[in-house]
């Protein structure tokens, strides 16, 4: 069969990324230009600054990805672009660039849901992986347990009713005075900490998740300690929070996998969390579930995962877009 080469473009938040992927799994190039250093001084992503930097960078990032892969735009079989969810101005930069490139070359345009892209990161790391599998999805904007029925069909089984898991990591980091992006710093501190605060788990009785209460619980704990003039142990707070945020989420996903397809994948930025990865390995081994973790570089935002999903969509003739394609900031993962 002829190889299918897809260019992926991602600009939903503060990473300008482009990648060239062959047959949905072989990464020929993956370029990520992160704006972390720029947004650090504001303690979070400033949408307008993010958009301006995407405009400044996208040309070079796409060119670098094409050059590194040794292809020209005319060699491509598809151009896959993230059209949601994310920051509207940021998304529009990628969408507009992809539309222009598609129009100039005649290469088909494929619209990709960022969240579906995160799930597809697993096909890159694990060439043998095929659906169906259960996916624990945890990023800065989404938290869910999903049944991945096929390469393009999903059932959302459990979800957060308020904040996302990554968002809670970032807010707790801020409360502890840690730099942006917070998740990775909480992870580092937690490695040397103990679960002394014993915060309430983010899993609710019905198996869905709520991170807003947990986040408030941590903020109150830190304030109470400071009102009493007591020193907090940041390592212990980070560890206590991480366990409350992650343990129940992993249990829920692993139980779902154990009762069904016996395969569990992890996706999204929080998938890089060291406790999550270790605990998932331990619990899956106990329950007889095969665990698939994406490489760390494919947990956070990247364009290889977007190109991968573009390939699977194109193969099924789904989500081929025309030049009326617009950004969709509130796009969700839907049960299809």
Binding site for ligand KG4 (CB under 6 A): 13, 118, 139-141, 166-167, 169-170, 181-184, 187, 268-270, 272-273, 300-301
Residue 169 interacts with, from Zn ion, ligand KG4, none (CB under 5-8 Å by kind): ligand KG4
| The dihedral sign for the CA sequence 50, 52, 56, 61 | positive
Binding mask 86-125 for Zn ion (x = CB under 5 A): ----------------------------------------
- Give the shortest CB-93-to-ligand KG4 separation in angstroms: 16
Cis peptide leading into 181, omega within 30 of 0?
A: yes
Neighbours of 205 (CB within 10 A): 5
* Cα 273 to Cα 255: distance, rounded to the nearest angstrom: 20
In the chain the first and final C-alpha atoms are separated, in Å, by 29
- Give the shortest CB-94-to-Zn ion separation in angstroms: 13
Residue 193 interacts with, from Zn ion, ligand KG4, none (CB under 5-8 Å by kind): none
Q: Which is nearer to Zn ion, 170 or 301 (CB)?
A: 301
Binding mask 261-300 for Zn ion (x = CB under 5 A): ----------------------------------------
* Cα 186 to Cα 241: distance, rounded to the nearest angstrom: 9
- Give the shortest CB-55-to-ligand KG4 separation in angstroms: 20
Q: Which is nearer to Zn ion, 11 or 201 (CB)?
A: 11
Residue 78 interacts with, from ligand KG4, Zn ion, none (CB under 5-8 Å by kind): none
3-state SS class at 157: strand
Output the CA angle 141-253-165, nearest 5 degrees: 25
Cis peptide leading into 55, omega within 30 of 0?
A: no
Q: Segment contacting Zn ion (CB under 5 A): 48-56, 96-104, 120-128, 301-309?
A: 301-309
Q: Segment contacting Zn ion (CB under 5 A): 134-142, 229-237, 302-310, 313-321?
A: 134-142
Q: Segment contacting Zn ion (CB under 5 A): 136-144, 159-167, 227-235, 324-332?
A: 136-144
Run of H or E including 21: strand 15-22
Determine contact, residues 289/261, Cβ cutoff 8 Å. Answer: no
Cα dist from 22 to 19, 54, 200, 320, whole Å? 10, 25, 45, 18
Q: Which is nearer to ligand KG4, 169 or 292 (CB)?
A: 169
Residues composing the chain: 336
Q: Which is nearer to ligand KG4, 79 or 164 (CB)?
A: 164
Residue with tokens 């394609």: 325
Q: Is 309 in the site for Zn ion (CB under 5 A)?
A: no
Size of interface with Zn ion, in residues (CB under 5 A): 2
Residue among 301, 302, 312, 319 that touches Zn ion (CB under 5 A): 301
Encoding tokens for residue 170?
């970032």
- Give the shortest CB-157-to-ligand KG4 separation in angstroms: 20
Neighbours of 103 (CB within 10 A): 11
Closest residue to bound ligand KG4 by CB: 269
Q: Is 139 in the site for Zn ion (CB under 5 A)?
A: yes
Closest residue to bound Zn ion by CB: 301
Spatial strand order of the sheet with 154-159 comes to 154-159, 143-148, 133-138, 263-267, 290-292
Residue numbers of the site for Zn ion (CB under 5 A)? 139, 301
């Amino acid at each position: 069969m002829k190889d299918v080469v897809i260019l992926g473009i991602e600009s939903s938040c503060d990473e300008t990324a482009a990648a060239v992927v062959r047959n949905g799994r072989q990464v020929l190039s993956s370029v990520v230009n992160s704006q972390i250093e720029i947004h650090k001084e504001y303690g979070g992503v400033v949408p307008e600054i993010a958009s301006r930097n995407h405009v400044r960078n996208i040309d070079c990032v796409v060119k670098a990805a094409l050059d590194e892969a040794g292809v020209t735009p005319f060699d491509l079989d598809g151009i896959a672009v993230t059209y949601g969810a994310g920051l509207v101005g940021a998304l529009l930069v990628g969408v507009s660039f992809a539309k222009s490139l598609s129009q100039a070359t005649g290469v088909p345009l494929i619209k990709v849901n960022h969240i579906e892209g995160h799930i597809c990161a697993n096909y890159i790391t694990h060439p043998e992986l095929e659906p169906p599998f259960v996916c624990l999805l945890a990023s800065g904007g989404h938290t869910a347990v999903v049944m991945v029925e096929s390469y393009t069909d999903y059932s959302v089984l459990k979800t957060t009713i308020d904040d996302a898991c990554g968002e809670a990591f970032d807010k707790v980091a801020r409360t502890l005075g840690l730099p942006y992006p917070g998740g990775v710093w909480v992870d580092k501190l937690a490695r040397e900490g103990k679960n002394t605060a014993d915060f309430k788990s983010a899993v609710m009785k019905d198996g869905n998740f709520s991170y807003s209460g947990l986040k408030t619980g941590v903020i109150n704990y830190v304030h109470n300690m400071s009102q009493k003039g007591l020193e907090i142990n940041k390592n212990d707070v980070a560890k206590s929070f991480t366990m409350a945020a992650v343990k129940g989420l992993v249990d829920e996903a692993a139980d779902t996998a154990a009762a069904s397809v016996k395969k569990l994948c992890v996706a999204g930025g929080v998938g890089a969390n060291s406790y999550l990865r270790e605990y998932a390995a331990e619990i899956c081994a106990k329950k007889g579930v095969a665990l698939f973790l994406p490489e760390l570089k494919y947990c956070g935002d990247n364009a290889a995962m977007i190109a991968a999903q573009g390939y699977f969509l194109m193969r099924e003739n789904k989500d081929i877009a025309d030049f009326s394609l617009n950004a969709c900031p509130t796009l969700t993962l839907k049960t299809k």
